[in-house]
Amino acid sequence: SPVWKAAIENYDLIDMIGEGSYGEVCEGKCKVTGERVAIKYVKNIYENEYDCVKILREVQILRKLSAIP
């Protein structure tokens, strides 16, 4: 996918953190800033509307948490 390709171009993938029902989480490091991040690759995101809503909700929560110092 274009998003995953952009992640690979902009981040060094360091290690696989975990795998779950919806995808995989890798530890990454930004090539420009050196910031360490978690990158979640979600498989078949549009396959099921219910799962899509749950994944969107998770992303919204993670964005709010990342704003907290």
- Tens-binned pLDDT, residue by residue, of the chain (69 aa): 677 777 788 999 999 999 877 788 889 999 999 999 888 888 777 788 888 888 889 888 888 887 776
pLDDT of residue 44: 78
Angle among Cα 30, 31, 35 to the nearest 5 degrees reads 30
pLDDT of residue 1: 64
Q: What is the pLDDT at residue 67?
A: 74
Instruction: Give residues with Cβ within 8 angstroms of 7, minimum separation 6.
Output: 28, 39, 41
What distance in Å separates the CA atoms of residue 67 and residue 44, rounded to the nearest whole number? 28
Q: What is the token pair recorded at 67?
A: 């704003």
- Tell which residue, 35, 36, 39, 37, has the closest CA to residue 26: 39
What pLDDT does 21 receive? 75
